[in-house]
Every structure is written in structure tokens, then in C-alpha cells.
Structure 1
Amino acid sequence: MADVMIAAMPFTGHVVPLLHVAEALAAAGHRVRVHVGSHFADRVRAAGAEHVPWQRAPDFDERDLRAVFPQTGRGGPLGVLTNLEHVFVRTGAGQVHDLLAAWQRRPWDLLVADGFSTGGALVSERLGVPWASVSTGPLTVPSRDLPPPGLPLAPARGPLGRARDTALRGAFAALSRPLRTALRETRAAVGLEPGAVTLEQQWISPHLVLALGIAELEAPRSDLPAHVHFVGSFPPGGADEDLPPGWARALEAPRPVVHVTQGTFGTDPQQLLRPALEALGGRDVTVAAVTGVIGRDALPFDPPPNAVVAARVPYGRLLPRTDVVVTNGGWGGVVAALRHGIPLVVAGADLDKPLVAAMVARSGAGIDLRTGRPPARAVGAAVDRVLAEPSYRRAATGLAARFAAHDTAAEVVGLLERLLRDRAPVRRAGDPWGR
């Protein structure tokens, strides 16, 4: 039995997959602790792990970042960089202090960190112990074959494309200078050489990267590190839970079911829920709308009669009945839909969501609306097209088969146990794209 510490950023989209990792490790007989904000304490304990709270790290609620980080809240690329600086990087020193205190109480054998957990990466470097990072979204591993991570652009083709990507990498380096400064200051604050690790390297374990997803969704690249492993995805929970009141009867109607979700972060219902409900209210479909905010079971506008609304819904019960998912592009929800072979309509606004939308479109499994605030007519036309053209369902079904080829829990535990045993980078065999 090993003692494992898991470090997660306190956002639902980050915590849920890390808790699946915790459950898998606990089921395999390992002792697990999870360092995350107090909002998730009960969920940590339900996963069979011990909660290690954020204390020196500023505890916050993802639904109101500005209460703790007044600099945040702006949209656009600069707003994303500001969020990364203050929420993800500058909290790193506090995370390290919390984790060092936990280490002094009981050292761990292995640390598993959310791919954006600055504290997890820094404390592992400081202690000199191996660690694994979990990619809870599209891969952010930089590549000479691709534009900078996070941009919703197709891979470069030919000399002009390569010149484009070189220019974009230079522009990103200039735009992210405050982020790089913040990282250097954070590293110095916890006793590490400020420039020893670059921004691009900081969140990527040199020992093992568990990429939640499949290679078929990612752009092929020639320089993917050998310790990056695609492991599929954990099944969505809730298969044995009840649907919200009134939902079971509504979903039994003999017509397509369209699930509409604003995700769990950036949950303004005016962005996607309102135009989607306006568009679908006059169609012969059942709309299953989720607000993404616990306690918000109603919308600030009247839903159409063919819609049901709830704060959250057990995906294990909903997705097997769903024909199309309309989403803001959160990675967890997109992967869950594709795991079930469901085509998508994606309205990605910021963070990695435009990239996710572009990935879905390139795969053939859905439509990228190219905005986070689509007009109702665009949502309606996209849903009509996805329902009418079988190619979208065929592409989604093909991706579902690739997900089904993975036993994610067993693969994750097996790879982590290899790292525990060998204390060296865990190399994969072969190329993920079969070249």
C-alpha cells in the first residue's frame, strides 16, 4: 500500500477527474489524501480519501472568484492570462506551504497533481520526489508542430503555416510576460531557482502525464514526450441516481433529446442557455437544460414547455437518453458525450473552450459555433443539421469506440504503480497515432 497525495485546483472540472483517480487508487488499496479547497471536502471524503484543506493557499469558491481575486473577471485572452496569474500561479506559494505541512505530518510516496496545480509541481521539485500530472483538458504540452497550446487553430501546413506558428509563439511569449514574472516570483518565494523551469514546463510532470482523452481528438505531433499516456476517460457518475423531478417522464417522449449545458464555470445563462432554449422551444425535441450551479434550479426567464431545467443532473442517467449535446465546451462534458457516442454543438467562449470546439469540429463529431454567445438561429440551425446528417453520429460513435478501448481506472492505477516502483519516467510503447 502506498501513500498518495493528490493536489487539485478547486474547480469542479478539475476536481471531478482527480477524485476519480482518488477512488481508483483507494479501490486498489492505496491510502489517498486530496489537497483542495473546503468547498469539495465532502466529495473528497465520499471518494474514500482524506481531505487536506487549502489554508495558506487562499480558499475560494469558483462561483465568485472576484471575492478573493478582485483582479479577475475580465473576458478575452488578457482576462484568461490574468486569471492564470492570480488564481493558478500566485496561489502556488500557499499551496506549497500547505503541502509541506502535510508532508511533515506524514510523508507521501507519490504526488498526483492536477495539470494546473502549481503547488503540486513546486512541492515535488522541492522535495525531490516523483510526481504525475493529470491533464484534465486538451494537452498543453508544447510542440514544434503546433501553434501555442490553447489556440483553436489547425496544425500548420507548409512553410507559411510554420512561420505563422513561430510568430504566434513569439506573440504568446510577449503577452504572457506577467505570467512568467509571477511564476519566477512564486518559485523564489518557496526556495526554488526562479528560472530553472519555464512556464511551458512548470505544469507538466517530467515523470508521467496522464492525459484524460484519446489521441484521435488531439492533433498529431512528432515530438510528444514518451511519458505522455492517453488513458481514455472515467465513466460519468450517477447511473444509479434519480433524475430530477419531472425529468423521467419528459425524457420518455418519442422525440429527440437535446441536452443543453453552460458547464460549471462561467455559468451566465444568457450566454448559451437562453439562445438555445429560444431556438429549441419551437422544435419537436425535448430540451434537458442544466444551469451548472447548485441551488439554481430555475432560470431568470421562462423556459419553453418542451424543456426541463435543473441545477445538476446525473450524467450516467441522462446521456444514454440524449441525441445531441449543446455545450459551452467544458472538456469533461464534451468527453462524457463522446464517450457515449453523442454528437455535439459547441459554443466555446474562453479558456480552452474555443480549442475544444475546434477539436470537436475537426473530428467530424459536431459543429463549432465559433462564439460563446451564439444567436438563437445559429444554435437551432446547428442542432437541426446534427440531427439530420448521419455523419456526425457516425463520427461520434467512432470516437466512443476508441474511448471504450480503454479501462481508464486500471490504466491510471497501473501507470502510477509503475512510477512508484521504478521512480523513473514511465515511457509508453509506440506512437499514439499509429504512425
Structure 2
Amino acid sequence: MSYVRFQTNLALEVEESSGHRLVTFAMSTASAGEDRPFILILCHTLSGHLAPLIRIAAALHTLGWQTFFLGPNAHRHRIEAAGSIFIPLSGNADLDDKEYYENPPSGATYTSMHWSERVLVDIRVQCLNPLPTQWSDVKAALASLHARDPGRGVIVLAEAFFYGVLPLFYGTSLPDGIPNPLGSVCVSVTVPAIRSVDLPPAGYPFPFDASPEGRLRNTKLWERSWTRKAADLTTLLNVKMWQAGAERGVGEVFLSGANYTAHNSILQLGVPSFEYPRSDWPSGFKFAGLVQGAPKQSSRPAPTTKDPPFPWWPEIISNSTLPPANRKKILVVSQGTVETNPYDLIIPTLRAFAPSHTNSSSPSSSSSILVVAILGWKDADLSQHADFAIPKNARVADYLSYDTVLAHADVWIHNAGFGAVNHGVANGVPMVVAGEGMDKTENARRVAWSGIGVDLGTATPSAEQVRDGVEWVLRDDRYSGRVRELQRESEEIDCFDIIHSELLTVMEERPGIIQRGLTP
């Protein structure tokens, strides 16, 4: 299908969850855009899931798609800044992730739980309990889009952990007169939680092993261990599906992949070399590259950015202009937007490289190091921690674009969020990771397995552990060489063009919604 584009002079500013970054787009709109279907974007409400979908929404906007984003009110301004029409989630589906982690559902006991127990709480509260409300919101959104233009049709673009769309595939009917979407595309913004003969269930402490012996182990873990451990979640998912009006349950143990494979296709963010090789990828699965980093030439148009508003930022720029032998090493540390207690990773990192903790013979002596710490939320600061004095070689930002600062970094220290890993890959920066919970344990293991960094094996490392990890990365060029290999791999995959092409395919082929769980 051919179509003609014309340029407008509308500026679009996108504010990232990870920093002060104003991205200005010269908006491209397709003159035939009104003939395309509407795009309804659905996404789990955590910032780490929303950020890549918001970037995708902004790119689709420039490529002439009219996007509608069903999202949490706490992030409305970011969604609208991406050019999407915002549709609010309601009731218990409208989760503010910052408030959630400041006041978790289990109170003080939440923070004392092992990470594996906290994950189960989060899955119930964030993903499964809101499912009927999410489905009601999806139905209302589809009805609204149909009323707006009955002839356009809708394509669903759903992030994998938005469970509220699943009833659509398991026999739940839409209101009278509202047609099913033309098709659905899943976007995966974490490591794929899809069952494989080559892998144990997520979170199990076993190395990748696709040998016959490893596959036998994996099968036993899935069928004997995870099926039992996940029984309550499997039951809860099916109960919530029935409450939403589904005629059938999902029919598999929780986290086996139904939230991916229900869709017509699966676009996995990331690069193949970061993921364990599998022999049984599901039909329609493909790697879609990175939303992080500089845009590809074909992803029109390129953004322009403003310098971060910190008085020390010119020091970072100036350091990068020096000959390599004269530059200080720039270490960047962040804990993302979930585990925000700075004593977990940020303060140990600042202490590790403070003048009193290093020696002149070390590759990470304080005289040769600048540490940039990113706290993750606007207006956050370290002044409330009276027992800690910020070292002279530290620069602290409440909120800073990862891509902006990683362009100048030598080591990227973080707690293994999937987005943080991909920011490192996109900028070719080797990593030291210290993370547990959600998918962070899996991400950390893949960082070590792929050779792009060091996994400290804990979410709360000591200053000595952080320093040892950084010195290991600085001494061994294999880490920087390997991450640059993955960076080159990412540069060969144009994420936004792949998503754009996938939507055009759905528009032309109109595969519709495939009903799952039916007996042939």
C-alpha cells in the first residue's frame, strides 16, 4: 500500500520517565492517515513498561497513525505529549506506581518480604485483580472509537502484561454493534515470559541449559514445581477472566505465555544476542530492536534535545572532549523507579568511589572518577539521609535521561531493569548490575551470560562489591567489546519501522481476533 506524507510544523515534546529530556519532533502526518485504522495502545501501569510504549506512540504519531492510549492518570501528561489521545483507566486499574511503592499494599511487611514474595503481591495487585476493570475500560474504549468513526476499524497494540485484554480472546463478547478489532499486536518490554523446553520457569536459579539433561530438568521444574507454586495465581487469573465474562479459562499454568501468544504477533523489544536461544519460539515472534538510544535514519524525524539543567553538566561534556588518556572515567548509577531506597545501590556506589575509599593505584581511584547518580523521580534528593555526605567526585540528579548521560559514560551501574539494560546496549556501555525482583533477576543473569557486564548477584551490594565489579569491567576490555557488538546489532534493527510495518500488515490482512482455548 502506498501513501503520501506531508510535513507540518507541530512540535512534540516527550518527557521521559528517566530524565529531563525534551524531544522535539517535526510531526509527519500521512495524508491518507484518515484511511488507516485507529491504534488502541494498552499497557501495564508501571513506568518501566509505559516508557517504551510512550516512545512507540510518539514514533507512530510521526508516521501518520492516530493513536489512543488507555493509561493511568498519573502519566497522562507524558502520554499526551507523545501525540496520543489519552483514555483514562478507572477504579483499581488506575494505578499510580510512584504512590504504590511509597505506600505498598502490604504496608511495612511488604519491604521485609523476600523479592519472590513481593513479586507475587505485585502480580495480584497490579495485573490480575484489576483485570475485570481493565476489560471494562477496553470495551468502553473500543465503543468510543467505533462511535468516532465506524468505518476506520481498530488495531490493538498491547504490552504483554496488560492482562485486561485477554477476555477478548477467550469468548467474551463486545457490546452490540461494536466489531472486534482488525487484529492485535503484542509488544514485549521485558524478557519474554513464554514457556520453553529450553528454559526453567522465570526466577529459578539455574543456568541456561538446552541439552537433553537440561530440558528434562526444565520440564520437571515446570510440571512439578512451578505448576504447584503458581496454582493460586493460575486460579486467580481464571476467576478474574470469568468475572470479566470470558467463556473459557486460559488453560495453562500462569506465566506460560498466554498473554503473548493470544495476539496475532509478538514484537520483542531488545536484540537476539541478549536473549537465551530457544528452539521453540512461538509463531509470529520476532525481535524488534530498541526504543532506546539515537533514532535510526529511517525512523523519521530525528529528535533534538536540550542539555540537562544541572550546573555540573558542562563538566561532563568537557570531560568527553579531552584526549582519552586525560579523561576521567564516568560512572553512572541509578535504581530506576521501583526500588528507590538509595541505600540499596546508589549510596554504596557513591561510597565505593569516595576519596576515602580508593587508592591511587586503582583504575577507579577517586581522582580519575566522576560518579553521576540518578535518583529516578523529580525533586528526589539525598539531603534527608543525614548519615551520608555526598562525596566531592559525585554529581547527583533527581531525574535525568539515561541516553543523554550514557553517551558520556564508561560504566553503567543499575539494578537490572530491562529498560536500563537496553539503554546500556543502545549506548555501548558495559554494566555492573545488582537487581532482584520482577524480571530483574533474569535480566541480571543475561547480562553476565551475554558478556556485557558483571552481575553482583544481590540487590543490596556493599561498597566493596560495587567497586570490585566496576574495576573488573574497567580492567577487562571484553565487556566493552561485547556490549559494542550488541550495540551494532541494535543499530541494524529499526524498532519503529518494524512496528509500523507490522501495523500496515495487520491493516491489509485484517486477521481479526483469534479465539483461544477452543477444541478443534
**Counterpart for residue 311 of structure 2:** 246
Q: Given the superposition, is the C-alpha separation of residues 173 and 24 from structure 1 closer, same or farther in structure 2, using an over 3 Å criterion?
A: same
Q: Given the superposition, is the C-alpha separation of residues 360 and 377 from structure 1 closer, same or farther in structure 2, using an over 3 Å criterion?
A: same
**Counterpart for residue 485 of structure 2:** 398
1:202 and 2:258 correspond: yes
Name the stretch that deviates more: 278-287 or 64-73. Answer: 64-73
Superposed displacement of residue 159, structure 1: 4.4
Q: Could you give the per-residue CA deviations for residues 201-236 of structure 1, whole angstroms, max 9, x where no partner exists?
A: 431143111100011111111110130110110134
Kept in 2, the 8 Å contact 1:112–1:120? The answer is no
Superposed displacement of residue 81, structure 1: 1.5
Aligned equivalents of 2:304 and 2:341: distance in 1?
A: 28
Which one of 230, 243, 268 corresponds to residue 176 of structure 1?
230
Amino acid at match of 2:133: G
Which of 1 and 2 has greater Rg?
2
1:120 and 2:176 correspond: no
Aligned equivalents of 1:162 and 1:231: distance in 2?
A: 27
Amino acid at match of 1:215: P
Q: Could you give the per-residue CA deviations for residues 109-128 of structure 1, whole angstroms, max 9, x where no partner exists?
A: 11111110001333465355
Instruction: Kindly report the root-mean-square deviation, in angstroms, between the aligned alpha carbons of the 2 structures.
Output: 2.1
The 5 Å alignment of 1:277-296 reads: 277-282=350-355, 283=366, 284-296=368-380
Superposed displacement of residue 314, structure 1: 2.1
Aligned equivalents of 1:100 and 1:415: distance in 2?
A: 24
Kept in 1, the 8 Å contact 2:199–2:210? The answer is no
The 5 Å alignment of 1:81-120 reads: 81-107=120-146, 108-120=153-165
Q: How many residues in Structure 1 have an aligned counterpart in Structure 2?
A: 426
Aligned equivalents of 1:373 and 1:59: distance in 2?
A: 31
Aligned equivalents of 1:333 and 1:340: distance in 2?
A: 11
Aligned equivalents of 1:412 and 1:150: distance in 2?
A: 29
Which one of 335, 340, 357 corresponds to residue 262 of structure 1?
335
Superposed displacement of residue 188, structure 1: 0.3
Q: TM-score, normalised by structure 1?
A: 0.92
1:40 and 2:75 correspond: yes
Per the alignment, in what secondary structure is the counterpart of residue 276 of structure 1? Answer: helix
Amino acid at match of 2:60: L
Which one of 204, 228, 235 corresponds to residue 285 of structure 2?
228
Name the stretch that deviates more: 46-55 or 169-178. Answer: 169-178
Amino acid at match of 2:185: A
Kept in 2, the 8 Å contact 1:60–1:68? The answer is no
Aligned equivalents of 2:506 and 2:248: distance in 1?
A: 27
Superposed displacement of residue 422, structure 1: 1.4
Aligned equivalents of 1:95 and 1:134: distance in 2?
A: 18
Q: Could you give the per-residue CA deviations for residues 166-195 of structure 1, whole angstroms, max 9, x where no partner exists?
A: 232121111111111110111101110342
1:164 and 2:217 correspond: yes
Aligned equivalents of 1:424 and 1:153: distance in 2?
A: 39
Kept in 1, the 8 Å contact 2:335–2:414? The answer is yes
**Counterpart for residue 432 of structure 1:** none
Aligned equivalents of 2:463 and 2:434: distance in 1?
A: 12
**Counterpart for residue 5 of structure 2:** none
**Counterpart for residue 412 of structure 2:** 325
Structure number with higher relative contact order (C-alpha < 8 Å, ≥ 6 residues apart): 2
**Counterpart for residue 131 of structure 1:** 184
Kept in 1, the 8 Å contact 2:187–2:266? The answer is yes
Aligned equivalents of 2:403 and 2:43: distance in 1?
A: 24
Aligned equivalents of 2:91 and 2:509: distance in 1?
A: 33
Q: Given the superposition, is the C-alpha separation of residues 142 and 243 from structure 1 closer, same or farther in structure 2, using an over 3 Å criterion?
A: same
Q: Given the superposition, is the C-alpha separation of residues 209 and 202 from structure 1 closer, same or farther in structure 2, using an over 3 Å criterion?
A: same
Amino acid at match of 2:459: G
**Counterpart for residue 141 of structure 1:** 194
1:69 and 2:105 correspond: yes
Q: TM-score, normalised by structure 2?
A: 0.78
Kept in 2, the 8 Å contact 1:258–1:287? The answer is yes
**Counterpart for residue 341 of structure 1:** 428
Which one of 215, 218, 223 corresponds to residue 275 of structure 2?
218
Q: Given the superposition, is the C-alpha separation of residues 267 and 236 from structure 1 closer, same or farther in structure 2, using an over 3 Å criterion?
A: farther
Runs of 4+ in 1 over 6 A off after TM superposition: none
**Counterpart for residue 433 of structure 1:** none
Kept in 2, the 8 Å contact 1:56–1:98? The answer is no
Per the alignment, in what secondary structure is the counterpart of residue 289 of structure 2? Answer: coil
Aligned equivalents of 1:293 and 1:306: distance in 2?
A: 22
Name the stretch that deviates more: 61-70 or 297-306. Answer: 61-70
Percent of residue pairs identical: 28
Q: Which runs of 5+ in 1 are unaligned?
A: 426-435
Q: Given the superposition, is the C-alpha separation of residues 239 and 288 from structure 1 closer, same or farther in structure 2, using an over 3 Å criterion?
A: farther
Q: Could you give the per-residue CA deviations for residues 11-67 of structure 1, whole angstroms, max 9, x where no partner exists?
A: 111001111221122222111111111011001110000111111344222123265
Kept in 2, the 8 Å contact 1:214–1:231? The answer is yes
**Counterpart for residue 26 of structure 2:** none
Superposed displacement of residue 268, structure 1: 1.1
Name the stretch that deviates more: 117-126 or 139-148. Answer: 117-126
Name the stretch that deviates more: 292-301 or 183-192. Answer: 292-301
Superposed displacement of residue 150, structure 1: 4.2
Q: Given the superposition, is the C-alpha separation of residues 270 and 239 from structure 1 closer, same or farther in structure 2, using an over 3 Å criterion?
A: farther
Kept in 2, the 8 Å contact 1:241–1:314? The answer is no
The 5 Å alignment of 1:12-23 reads: 12-23=47-58
Superposed displacement of residue 420, structure 1: 2.5
Kept in 2, the 8 Å contact 1:239–1:314? The answer is no
Q: Which runs of 5+ in 2 are unaligned?
A: 1-35, 147-152, 175-179, 295-302, 320-326, 356-365, 513-520
